[in-house]
Chains A and B, each alone.
Chain A
Amino acid sequence: DGGITQSPKYLFRKEGQNVTLSCEQNLNHDAMYWYRQDPGQGLRLIYYSQIVNDFQKGDIAEGYSVSREKKESFPLTVTSAQKNPTAFYLCASSLTGRQPQHFGDGTRLSIL
Protein backbone atom coordinates (compact mmCIF):
# COMPACT_ATOMS: atom_id res chain seq x y z
CA ASP A 1 0.00 0.00 0.00
CA GLY A 2 1.19 3.51 -0.80
CA GLY A 3 1.67 5.90 2.05
CA ILE A 4 3.94 7.92 4.30
CA THR A 5 6.03 6.26 6.97
CA GLN A 6 7.42 8.21 9.88
CA SER A 7 9.88 6.72 12.33
CA PRO A 8 10.34 6.34 15.16
CA LYS A 9 6.90 6.76 16.70
CA TYR A 10 8.42 7.97 19.98
CA LEU A 11 11.80 9.67 20.40
CA PHE A 12 13.65 11.03 23.38
CA ARG A 13 16.35 13.68 23.23
CA LYS A 14 18.97 14.58 25.77
CA GLU A 15 19.99 18.18 26.34
CA GLY A 16 22.46 19.38 23.71
CA GLN A 17 21.76 16.48 21.38
CA ASN A 18 20.66 16.54 17.75
CA VAL A 19 18.04 14.00 16.69
CA THR A 20 16.76 13.08 13.24
CA LEU A 21 13.18 12.14 12.40
CA SER A 22 12.62 9.98 9.35
CA CYS A 23 9.93 10.47 6.72
CA GLU A 24 9.58 8.21 3.68
CA GLN A 25 6.83 8.19 1.05
CA ASN A 26 6.11 5.78 -1.79
CA LEU A 27 3.35 7.86 -3.36
CA ASN A 28 5.66 9.39 -5.98
CA HIS A 29 4.77 12.83 -4.66
CA ASP A 30 6.94 15.82 -5.55
CA ALA A 31 6.16 17.96 -2.51
CA MET A 32 6.92 17.12 1.12
CA TYR A 33 6.33 19.02 4.35
CA TRP A 34 7.18 18.99 8.05
CA TYR A 35 4.78 20.33 10.67
CA ARG A 36 4.97 20.75 14.40
CA GLN A 37 1.82 20.24 16.48
CA ASP A 38 1.46 21.60 20.00
CA PRO A 39 -1.71 21.31 22.11
CA GLY A 40 -4.23 24.00 21.24
CA GLN A 41 -2.05 25.53 18.51
CA GLY A 42 -2.91 23.49 15.46
CA LEU A 43 -0.15 22.74 12.97
CA ARG A 44 2.76 25.01 12.17
CA LEU A 45 4.94 24.59 9.08
CA ILE A 46 8.64 23.98 9.74
CA TYR A 47 10.07 23.26 6.28
CA TYR A 48 8.78 22.20 2.89
CA SER A 49 10.23 20.92 -0.33
CA GLN A 50 8.62 21.14 -3.76
CA ILE A 51 11.32 19.22 -5.57
CA VAL A 52 14.43 17.13 -4.94
CA ASN A 53 17.49 19.09 -3.77
CA ASP A 54 15.41 22.14 -2.93
CA PHE A 55 13.62 23.14 0.26
CA GLN A 56 12.26 26.29 1.88
CA LYS A 57 11.79 27.52 5.44
CA GLY A 58 8.31 27.61 6.87
CA ASP A 59 7.02 29.68 9.77
CA ILE A 60 9.14 28.11 12.54
CA ALA A 61 12.36 26.85 10.92
CA GLU A 62 14.76 28.07 13.60
CA GLY A 63 16.48 25.17 15.35
CA TYR A 64 15.58 22.67 12.61
CA SER A 65 17.27 21.45 9.43
CA VAL A 66 16.20 19.22 6.53
CA SER A 67 17.56 17.59 3.40
CA ARG A 68 15.90 16.33 0.24
CA GLU A 69 18.43 14.15 -1.57
CA LYS A 70 15.83 11.66 -2.80
CA LYS A 71 12.25 12.18 -3.93
CA GLU A 72 10.88 9.70 -1.41
CA SER A 73 12.76 10.91 1.66
CA PHE A 74 12.64 14.15 3.69
CA PRO A 75 14.37 13.75 7.07
CA LEU A 76 14.08 16.44 9.75
CA THR A 77 16.87 17.13 12.24
CA VAL A 78 15.97 18.81 15.51
CA THR A 79 19.15 20.54 16.61
CA SER A 80 20.31 21.55 20.06
CA ALA A 81 19.47 25.14 19.08
CA GLN A 82 15.75 24.26 19.32
CA LYS A 83 15.13 25.08 22.96
CA ASN A 84 11.61 23.71 23.20
CA PRO A 85 11.52 20.63 20.98
CA THR A 86 8.86 18.65 22.86
CA ALA A 87 6.00 18.26 20.38
CA PHE A 88 4.27 15.97 17.92
CA TYR A 89 5.93 16.14 14.49
CA LEU A 90 3.98 15.38 11.33
CA CYS A 91 5.32 14.77 7.85
CA ALA A 92 3.12 15.20 4.79
CA SER A 93 3.37 14.94 1.03
CA SER A 94 1.34 16.01 -1.98
CA LEU A 95 1.49 15.35 -5.70
CA THR A 96 2.06 19.02 -6.34
CA GLY A 97 1.87 22.11 -4.18
CA ARG A 98 -1.86 22.60 -4.84
CA GLN A 99 -3.05 19.06 -4.20
CA PRO A 100 -4.35 17.76 -0.84
CA GLN A 101 -1.65 16.67 1.53
CA HIS A 102 -1.31 13.12 2.87
CA PHE A 103 0.05 12.72 6.38
CA GLY A 104 2.15 10.18 8.23
CA ASP A 105 1.25 8.98 11.72
CA GLY A 106 3.69 11.32 13.42
CA THR A 107 6.67 11.18 15.77
CA ARG A 108 6.32 12.30 19.38
CA LEU A 109 9.55 13.90 20.62
CA SER A 110 10.25 14.37 24.32
CA ILE A 111 13.17 15.71 26.33
CA LEU A 112 14.89 13.52 28.90
Chain B
Amino acid sequence: GDSVTQMEGPVTLSEEAFLTINCTYTATGYPSLFWYVQYPGEGLQLLLKATKADDKGSNKGFEATYRKETTSFHLEKGSVQVSDSAVYFCALSDGVNYGGSQGNLIFGKGTKLSVKP
Protein backbone atom coordinates (compact mmCIF):
# COMPACT_ATOMS: atom_id res chain seq x y z
CA GLY B 1 0.00 0.00 0.00
CA ASP B 2 0.87 3.66 -0.11
CA SER B 3 3.34 4.93 2.48
CA VAL B 4 5.47 7.89 3.55
CA THR B 5 8.95 7.66 5.06
CA GLN B 6 10.58 10.59 6.85
CA MET B 7 14.04 10.96 8.30
CA GLU B 8 14.05 10.17 11.97
CA GLY B 9 14.69 12.88 14.46
CA PRO B 10 15.22 14.65 16.59
CA VAL B 11 17.04 17.23 14.53
CA THR B 12 18.87 19.93 16.48
CA LEU B 13 20.17 23.03 14.71
CA SER B 14 21.54 26.40 15.65
CA GLU B 15 19.62 29.50 14.67
CA GLU B 16 20.22 30.58 11.04
CA ALA B 17 21.37 27.09 10.01
CA PHE B 18 20.09 25.39 6.84
CA LEU B 19 17.36 22.81 7.30
CA THR B 20 16.57 19.72 5.26
CA ILE B 21 14.06 17.09 6.33
CA ASN B 22 13.90 14.18 3.93
CA CYS B 23 10.62 12.63 2.84
CA THR B 24 10.07 9.83 0.33
CA TYR B 25 6.84 8.17 -0.65
CA THR B 26 5.40 5.08 -2.25
CA ALA B 27 2.14 5.44 -4.16
CA THR B 28 0.41 3.66 -7.00
CA GLY B 29 -1.28 6.75 -8.42
CA TYR B 30 -0.37 10.43 -8.71
CA PRO B 31 -0.59 11.72 -5.17
CA SER B 32 -0.76 15.20 -3.79
CA LEU B 33 1.96 15.86 -1.22
CA PHE B 34 1.85 17.94 1.94
CA TRP B 35 3.98 19.14 4.83
CA TYR B 36 2.24 19.81 8.12
CA VAL B 37 3.74 21.38 11.25
CA GLN B 38 2.72 20.68 14.85
CA TYR B 39 3.73 23.06 17.65
CA PRO B 40 3.79 21.69 21.22
CA GLY B 41 0.32 20.87 22.56
CA GLU B 42 -1.44 21.89 19.36
CA GLY B 43 -2.99 20.31 16.31
CA LEU B 44 -1.42 20.18 12.87
CA GLN B 45 -1.21 23.16 10.53
CA LEU B 46 -0.77 22.87 6.78
CA LEU B 47 2.65 24.30 5.91
CA LEU B 48 2.76 23.74 2.14
CA LYS B 49 1.55 21.46 -0.60
CA ALA B 50 2.23 20.31 -4.15
CA THR B 51 -0.26 18.56 -6.37
CA LYS B 52 1.78 17.41 -9.39
CA ALA B 53 5.30 16.55 -10.43
CA ASP B 54 7.85 19.44 -10.40
CA ASP B 55 5.50 21.66 -8.40
CA LYS B 56 7.23 23.64 -5.65
CA GLY B 57 5.27 24.41 -2.51
CA SER B 58 6.46 27.29 -0.35
CA ASN B 59 5.38 29.12 2.78
CA LYS B 60 7.09 31.08 5.59
CA GLY B 61 10.52 30.49 4.05
CA PHE B 62 10.00 26.72 3.77
CA GLU B 63 10.10 25.01 0.38
CA ALA B 64 9.58 21.51 -0.99
CA THR B 65 9.64 20.26 -4.59
CA TYR B 66 7.58 17.31 -5.82
CA ARG B 67 10.13 14.97 -7.44
CA LYS B 68 8.39 12.10 -9.19
CA GLU B 69 11.61 10.54 -10.49
CA THR B 70 12.96 10.12 -6.97
CA THR B 71 9.53 9.90 -5.26
CA SER B 72 10.64 12.59 -2.83
CA PHE B 73 9.31 15.78 -1.24
CA HIS B 74 12.13 17.07 0.95
CA LEU B 75 11.46 20.09 3.17
CA GLU B 76 14.07 22.89 3.17
CA LYS B 77 14.59 26.25 4.80
CA GLY B 78 17.61 28.46 4.31
CA SER B 79 17.80 29.98 7.79
CA VAL B 80 15.85 28.49 10.70
CA GLN B 81 14.64 30.43 13.73
CA VAL B 82 13.94 29.32 17.28
CA SER B 83 10.24 29.73 16.52
CA ASP B 84 10.51 26.94 13.90
CA SER B 85 10.96 24.37 16.66
CA ALA B 86 8.15 21.88 16.14
CA VAL B 87 7.32 18.46 14.73
CA TYR B 88 7.06 18.27 10.94
CA PHE B 89 4.92 15.68 9.14
CA CYS B 90 5.09 14.71 5.50
CA ALA B 91 1.83 13.32 4.07
CA LEU B 92 0.31 12.17 0.82
CA SER B 93 -3.20 11.99 -0.55
CA ASP B 94 -3.41 9.52 -3.36
CA GLY B 95 -6.77 10.59 -4.71
CA VAL B 96 -7.85 7.02 -5.28
CA ASN B 97 -9.79 4.75 -3.03
CA TYR B 98 -8.00 4.39 0.26
CA GLY B 99 -10.09 2.73 2.87
CA GLY B 100 -13.02 3.18 0.52
CA SER B 101 -12.81 6.91 -0.04
CA GLN B 102 -10.77 9.32 -2.05
CA GLY B 103 -8.29 11.69 -0.61
CA ASN B 104 -7.50 10.35 2.85
CA LEU B 105 -4.08 11.39 4.10
CA ILE B 106 -1.24 9.00 4.83
CA PHE B 107 1.29 10.48 7.25
CA GLY B 108 4.94 9.90 7.97
CA LYS B 109 5.93 9.44 11.59
CA GLY B 110 7.07 13.02 12.03
CA THR B 111 10.44 14.69 12.57
CA LYS B 112 11.04 16.78 15.67
CA LEU B 113 13.09 19.92 15.05
CA SER B 114 14.75 21.87 17.85
CA VAL B 115 16.44 25.17 17.05
CA LYS B 116 18.89 26.59 19.62
CA PRO B 117 19.61 30.33 19.89
Contact = CB atoms under 8 A, between A and B. Distances in A.
Given A45-B99, A48-B104, A103-B43, A98 B109 contact: no
A102 interface: yes
Contact of B103 (A6, A96, A105): A96
A59 interface: yes
Contacts of A99: 103
Contacts, number: 64
A8 interface: no
A45 B99 CA distance: 10
Interface residues of B, number: 24
Contact of A43 (B41, B42, B95, B107): B107
B28 interface: no
Given A33-B104, A42-B110, 7 more contacts: A57-B99, A92-B44, A98-B93, A103-B43, A104-B43, A105-B43, A106-B42
